Each structure stands twice: as C-alpha cells, then as structure tokens.
A and B are shown apart, each in its own frame.
Chain A
C-alpha cells in the first residue's frame, strides 16, 4: 500500500502556542487528505477534509480558525493547531485518499499541551 508520513510524531508545547503538523504522501499524489483526532480509547473522529488547491471542508463542531489546514501541493497537507490548550491534547492522524476511496493513514502525532 501507499506510504503516508507525519511529522512530528510527538510534540509537547505550552498552552497558548501554535503547533504545525505535516502530512506527506511519499509515493503517490493525493488530491484529498483527511485529518482525524483520536482521544484515548475512542475512535477516530474526522476533523476536516483537505483538498489540494482549495479550502478545507470542516466537520460540524470543528473550529476552522483554530485548526488551520493548508494543502498546497499534491503530496503535503499541514494542520496547525493555533493557541493550543490542554483540551487539544490528543492523537492527530492524517490519511490520504487512494484511487478507490481507500485511505492510507499516517503514523499519527501525539500532541500534549501543558
């Protein structure tokens, strides 16, 4: 299957700072990427759909001004958590959409906000 990377894998930051997470498709071009959040012992919750060259589509209840998404190229999407607070601490996972609507997931980023 296709390979998707995420960076960083783990980040600890102070409350009020912004954190940027990168998601890259390494061996294919992904016009659509997805960003999920997963709290402990819960399932993945879709936050937004990222389309190359256009604005992201956010799910209901997700603040677009807090979670900034940029998909500037066919292999890179970024998620910036602005003014992070402890309640934003979570496991953030991206995925890239394949030709048959399958999704290839990145390894995830563990965010801890102190």
Chain B
C-alpha cells in the first residue's frame, strides 16, 4: 500500500501562520496535490507540485522535496473560514492516493 502521513489536527489563531507537513512513501510519483475540504463537502483544489521547490498562490504556499518524500502546505494570515480539513494527495500514474487529512481549527 501507499504511506502518506500528515498530522491529524492543528489549531492556530486568526491571523497566524500554520504549516501542515506531509510525508510519503509510494510506489510511484507523478506529483503532489493539496486539497481543502469543509465538513460534508467535496475537496477543492489548492495546489499542485511536481518539481522541487515552493509554489506560492496568495495566502497559500506549497513546498515539495521529492528526494525526501516531503511536502508542506503553508497557510498565512489565517481566517476563520480556513477551518477545514487539508488533504495531501500523491498522484501515481493517473490516480490520487490521499492522506488521512489534517483538521485545522482557527480560533479568534
């Protein structure tokens, strides 16, 4: 099977920064996605990394190190609406294999 690990829960204060780490050991690798999922809703796309380095998109940034099997999602200037589950997913051939998700709670 595929091993994709991320922390279960994180809590942060409104306006702060939170970094969600994801490590993976998979049978293949064609890229890594981060998705946001609010309770009872479908995941929405946040970022995609296929090469090493940092991809920045507004308040969200994602980093990838393929040699270390490691990625992180950085959320800046946290807002209450950022409270959600964040899913790390590895693309293997054309299929996505998901981590269990990290529930982020933003407190006022």
CB proximity of A111 to chain B, nearest CB, Å: 13
Whether the pair A49, B95 counts as a contact (CB closer than 8 A) is yes
**Interface residues of A, count at CB 8 A:** 22
Q: Using an 8 Å CB-CB cutoff, how does the interface string of A73-93 with B read, 1 for contact, 0 for none?
A: 000000000000000000101
Interfacial chain B residues near A42, Cβ < 8 Å: 100-101
Is B97 engaged at the interface, CB distance under 8 Å to the other chain?
yes
In the complex, A9→B83 CA distance in Å? 23
Partner of A107, one of B31, B41, B94: B41
Partner of A93, one of B42, B94, B95: B42
Whether the pair A43, B95 counts as a contact (CB closer than 8 A) is no
Whether the pair A105, B44 counts as a contact (CB closer than 8 A) is yes
Whether the pair A110, B91 counts as a contact (CB closer than 8 A) is no
Partner of B41, one of A44, A49, A97, A108: A108
**Interface residues of B, count at CB 8 A:** 21
Assuming the contacts A101-B31, A102-B33, asked whether A108 and B42 have C-beta atoms less than 8 A apart, the reply is yes
CB proximity of A20 to chain B, nearest CB, Å: 19
Q: Using an 8 Å CB-CB cutoff, how does the interface string of B25-44 with A read, 1 for contact, 0 for none?
A: 00000110101000011111
In the complex, A49→B96 CA distance in Å? 11
Assuming the contacts A93-B42, A105-B43, asked whether A44 and B98 have C-beta atoms less than 8 A apart, the reply is yes
A interface residues with partner B (beta carbon < 8 Å)? 1, 32, 34, 42-46, 49, 91, 93, 97, 100-108, 110
Which 9 A-B residue pairings sit nearest by Cβ, starting from the closest? A105-B42, A43-B98, A43-B100, A44-B98, A108-B42, A107-B42, A105-B43, A43-B101, A93-B42
